Structure 1
Amino acid sequence: MSSRFALARAAAPLRNGLRSSQFGRLGQRSFHVSSSQNALSKFLMPAMSPTMTEGGIATWKKQPGDTFSAGDVLLEIETDKATMDVEAQDDGIMAKIVVDAGAKNVPVNSLIAVLGEEGDDISGADALAKEAESEPAPAKEEAPEKKESEQPSEPKEASSSSSAPQTSAPEPSTSSSSSSSDRIFASPLARRLAQDKGIPLAQIKGSGPNGRIVKADIDNYKPSQQPAAEAQSAPAPSAGGAKQELATSAPKAVESSASYTDTPVSNMRKVIASRLTESKQQLPHYYVSIDVEMDKVLRLRQLFNEAAERSAGGDAAKAKEAKLSVGDFITKAAAVALQQVPDVNAAWYGDFIRQYHTADISIAVATPTGLITPIVKNVGGNGLATISATTKSLAARARQGKLQPNEYQGGSFTISNMGMFGITHFTAIINPPQSAILAIGGTEPRLVIDESDERGFRKAMIMQATISADHRIVDGATAAKWMKAFKDALENPMIFML
C-alpha cells in the first residue's frame, strides 16, 4: 500500500529561483482502502515567495475530472510581480475547483481545490469543500489590524473581521442593527463572494459554527424589500413637484452612466504603491543632474550595429537581436562609475550599510501591470554584447510576467530610462534599500561652446542624467563624484573595450 500523492507545500516559503514544485510537501494523505471523502486532499493556496500573504489565480490548467501526472502544471498563480506555475509532484485527479480563475486577493493557506487519485470517489469533494469553509481562516504572518489600516478602501465589515481567526472564543455574527464595533465572522470564501456581489455582511445571519457566515448564507441572501416598499407607499408627485423628483433622482442616473471606469488594484500595483510611498516619505532624497555628450557613444554604437548586420547574413531577426542600444552603453558606464566610486554601490539596512562588490544593476521595465526592475548581474564583469542580450531577455520575460523572484529581488543600483518616450529630464524614486537610482532622459542636439571650432561653437548630442541619492548613505560630494565618473565613461566609451 503506497502513500498518497503530494503537491507543493502551501505554507513553505519559496527560496529564490525555485520552481513551485520544489516547495516541499503539502501533506501526505492517509492510507486508505476504500474510496471515501477522507481519501481526498485539500489543496491550499501556496506561498510563492517568503513575503507573500495573498495572491491571485490566473488560470487553471486542469479542470474537474481531469487527471494529471507528476510535473504537470495545475494552475498559474499571480504574485505581486509575476505569474508562476504550480506543478504536481505525483499523479492524481482534479476533484473540485473551489476558487475560480480570475480570483484576486486569495489568502495563502486557504482552500482553492480538492484533489484525489484516479479511481477515487470524487463525489465527496463538495462536502470536503463545505467543511473547509466552516473551519477558521488561516492566520496571516502580519498583524491583521496593521494590514487593513494600509488599505482604507476595503469595506468596513471586511476589515473589522480580519482578526477573527486569532480570536479564541468568537462571538456569533450580529444583525444589521448591531453596533459598528461588533466583529463579523465569515469564511474567506464567503467574504470574497459578499464583496464581489456587494452584499453587506452585517445584514446576514451566519449558519456556521458560532454564527460564522459561510458560502451558503451568501448564496441564500435576499436583499431587503424595505426600500421598494417605501417607494410604493410614497405619494405620487404632483405636476408641480415633477422637477423636484427629477432633481432627486438625477444623482442615481449620473452614477449609473458615469464616464469613468473603476479598475481593481492589482497585487503588483499595491506593492509598488506601498514601497514607493515608504521610500518617498522615509528616505532623504536629493538630486544631482549632469549633461553628457553622447556623440562618441552614438558613433560607436552605429559601427557595432553595422557589423552585426553584416555578420547576420541578411537575417533581420538575428541582426536585431545582436544590435546594441544606447541603454546598454549607459548600463556599462554606470558599472564603471560604481567601480570607481563604490560608496554609491551600497544599501541601507538600519544598523549597518552594506557595500556591494559587484554591480548588479536593476533596469526599470514598464509592464501592463506596473513597473518591475529585473537585475542585470555583474555588469562590470561582462561585455556590451552580454549586457545587451541579458537585458533583452529579462525585459521580454518581465512583460510576460515570467520572471523568477531571484531575477528581480535585490540589485545594488537602479537605472530608469525614459529617453525613448521623448522625455529630456525627470527624477526617480529610490528603490530601497538601494542608495541611489539614475534617471536617464532623451538625447537631443544642442549648440555648445567650442573654442577650437572656427565658429566658436559646435552641435553636440546631449543627454541629461539625474541621480536620486539617499543622503543617509551617499553625501552630496560623493554623488557629484559618481556623476562625473559616469559622464567621463560615456564620453570616452572606448574604455569599455579595455
Structure 2
Amino acid sequence: MKTSITMPALSDTMQTGRLTRWNKAIGDPVKQGEAIAEVETDKAILDVEAFSDGYLAGPLAEIDTDIPVQTVIGYIVDSPAEAKAAENASQASSSPESPEVAAPAAPAAPAAPAAPSAPPAKPSVKSPPPAKGAGASPYARALAQDLGLEIGRIRPGPDGQVHASQVIAAALAPVEPDLRMGPPYHLVAPSPLRAAVARNMIGTLQTPTFQISSRFALGPLHQRAKEQNLSLTLALGRACVLTVAEDPWFNQVWTSQGLAKRQRVDLGIAVDTGNGLITPVLRDAAQRPLPELAEDWRILLGKSKSGHLTPEDYQGASFYLSNLGIFPEIAQFTAIVPTGAAAILAVAAAGQDGKTDFTLSCDHRVIFGADAARFLQRLGKRLADPAWLK
C-alpha cells in the first residue's frame, strides 16, 4: 500500500509551508507519529508526522521550497523493496518530477518594473523584466487600459491567465515602488515569518487608532520583580492584565457582528526572534498564579528562540505588550494594534529622570480617550506600589 504524505495545514491562515528538512531518507523505516520532516510556517518550525508505519518512499519534495498545503511531498510504503522500486521509477522517468507529486515552487515574487536601458556605466543592472507569456481575456485587457495599468505587469491567476479579478486586485493593491532609476537590485522572497508580519500589518490598516502616553517610574516594580525572581517584562505584563481585568472595554474587540467580550485576559508579549517579530501568549494571565505564568513564559521564550512555537502558542491574545526598555536609546515609540485586540502598550527605556514613557495605542471603535486615560491612571498607581506582585 502507498500512503501519501501531504503538506499539513497547521493553522487556519496557513496557505503554504516551507519544507526545511527531511529527518529520514528514502527506504528508512518510519513509525506512526514519528517526525519525518520539518516545516517552517509563518511563525514556527513544526514537525510533519507519519500517519502510518512503513518505509519512506519518493519522489520527495525538495527542501527549502514553499509548498501549498495538502500537496503531496512524499510517500510511505509497506516494504523497502517498494521504496526502492519507487526510487528507481522516479529516476527512470523522463520528466524531472513525478506527476504524482505537485511541483513545489517558490512563491511568485511581485513583478518588478523592467530595468531601463542601462548606460555603459551601469551594465550590471539585475532588475527583473515584467512577466512574459501570461495571456489575458479581452475584458481584462480593456479594464486594465481603462484603469491605466500595464497588463504585462499584472500577476496572472492560477490558470496562468489574467482575468478581470486580477486586474481589479492590482488596481486596489498598494502602489509598488518604482525601482527603475535606483541602484541595481534583485528580488528575494521574505521568510514566512516576515511575510506573515507584513500581512498582519496590512490587515490593521482599517483599524481607526489613537495613542495616549504617560510617564511612570519603574524602579519600585523592578525591585519587586527582582525580589520575586521575575523578569521585568513578565512583571509589566502582570500589571497590564490586572488593569485590563478592571476595565472590560480593554478586553473586547470589534467585529462585524458586534463587540466580542472575552471571558479571560490572554496576554501577547512581543518577542524579537532575530528574524522577525512574534507574540507568544500567556493564557488567563490575570488569574493564574505567578510561578505558573513564569514557567509558561520560560517555555514560550525557549520555543520562540528555537522556532518551535505552535499556533496555540502565539494566536488569540486579547491585549498586547511591547517592551523595548532594554534599548536605552529608545525614549518613546508607538505600537500598532494587532488584529483581534483593542489595545497594545508600548514601553520605552527609562529617561535620565528615572521615568519611562508608556504609550497606549487603542482601537477607537472600542476604547475612547477617557477610557485610555483612566487605564493609564490605574496602571500608574499599580506600578508605584507593586505589593500585588507575589
TM over 0.5: yes
Q: 1:342 to 1:362 in 2, by over 3 A?
A: same
Q: 1:384 to 1:121 in 2, by over 3 A?
A: closer
Structure 2 length normalisation: TM-score?
Answer: 0.75
2:315 is matched with which residue: 378, 398, 409? Answer: 409
**Contact 2:59/2:98 (8 A) holds in 1:** no
1:383-420 per-position Cα deviation (integer Å, ceiling 9, x unaligned): 43333332222122112111121111101100000111
1:476: how far off? 0.9
2:351 is matched with which residue: 425, 444, 449? Answer: 444
1:69 is matched with which residue: 14, 18, 31? Answer: 31
Amino acid at match of 1:301: A
- Which residue does 2:358 correspond to in 1? 465
Measured in 2, the distance between the counterparts of 1:383 and 1:69 equals 39
Q: 1:109 to 1:485 in 2, by over 3 A?
A: same
- Which residue does 1:285 correspond to in 2? 209
Query: Please, which runs of 5 or more residues in structure 2 have no aligned partner?
Result: 113-127, 136-151, 161-179
**Contact 2:19/2:39 (8 A) holds in 1:** yes
**Contact 2:5/2:50 (8 A) holds in 1:** no
Measured in 2, the distance between the counterparts of 1:413 and 1:400 equals 25
Q: Helix, strand or coil: the match of 1:131?
A: coil
Q: 1:294 to 1:381 in 2, by over 3 A?
A: same
Q: 1:155 to 1:376 in 2, by over 3 A?
A: farther
1:271: how far off? 1.4
1:39-438 maps to which residues of 2 (within 5 A)?
39-104=1-66, 106-122=67-83, 123-124=85-86, 125-126=89-90, 130-132=98-100, 151=110, 263-279=188-204, 281-304=205-228, 323-422=229-328, 423-438=330-345
**Contact 1:414/1:438 (8 A) holds in 2:** yes
Amino acid at match of 2:75: V
1:375: how far off? 0.5
Q: Helix, strand or coil: the match of 2:351?
A: strand
1:48: how far off? 1.6
Amino acid at match of 1:116: V
Q: Helix, strand or coil: the match of 1:407?
A: helix
Q: What RMSD, in angstroms, separates the aligned Cα atoms of the two structures?
A: 3.3
**Contact 2:224/2:389 (8 A) holds in 1:** no
**Contact 2:244/2:265 (8 A) holds in 1:** yes
**Contact 1:340/1:485 (8 A) holds in 2:** no
1:354: how far off? 1.0
- Which residue does 1:25 correspond to in 2? none
1:156: how far off? 6.2
1:70: how far off? 1.9
Measured in 2, the distance between the counterparts of 1:83 and 1:115 equals 22
1:337: how far off? 0.9
Measured in 2, the distance between the counterparts of 1:45 and 1:443 equals 47
Measured in 2, the distance between the counterparts of 1:64 and 1:343 equals 56
- 1:476 paired to 2:383: no
1:485 is matched with which residue: 367, 378, 387? Answer: 378
1:157: how far off? 5.0
1:261-318 per-position Cα deviation (integer Å, ceiling 9, x unaligned): 8542112211110111221x211111000011223223323433xxxxxxxxxxxxxx
Query: Please, which runs of 5 or more residues in structure 1 have no aligned partner?
Result: 1-38, 139-146, 162-178, 187-250, 305-322, 447-460
Amino acid at match of 2:63: A
Q: 1:390 to 1:158 in 2, by over 3 A?
A: farther
Measured in 2, the distance between the counterparts of 1:420 and 1:443 equals 9
1:336-360 per-position Cα deviation (integer Å, ceiling 9, x unaligned): 2112111111112122111222111
Larger Rg: 1
Measured in 2, the distance between the counterparts of 1:363 and 1:325 equals 13
Structure 1 length normalisation: TM-score?
Answer: 0.60
Measured in 2, the distance between the counterparts of 1:326 and 1:300 equals 9
1:93: how far off? 1.1
Moved more, 93-102 or 343-352: 93-102
Q: 1:440 to 1:302 in 2, by over 3 A?
A: same
The higher-RCO structure (CA 8 Å, 6+ apart) is 2
Amino acid at match of 1:409: Q
Identity of aligned residues (%): 27
Amino acid at match of 1:130: S
1:67: how far off? 1.5
**Contact 1:329/1:490 (8 A) holds in 2:** no
Measured in 2, the distance between the counterparts of 1:92 and 1:44 equals 16
Structure whose residues are more often helix by fraction: 1
**Contact 1:160/1:184 (8 A) holds in 2:** no
Q: Helix, strand or coil: the match of 2:387?
A: helix
Q: Helix, strand or coil: the match of 2:245?
A: helix
**Contact 2:27/2:80 (8 A) holds in 1:** no
Measured in 2, the distance between the counterparts of 1:491 and 1:183 equals 58
Measured in 1, the distance between the counterparts of 2:342 and 2:158 equals 44
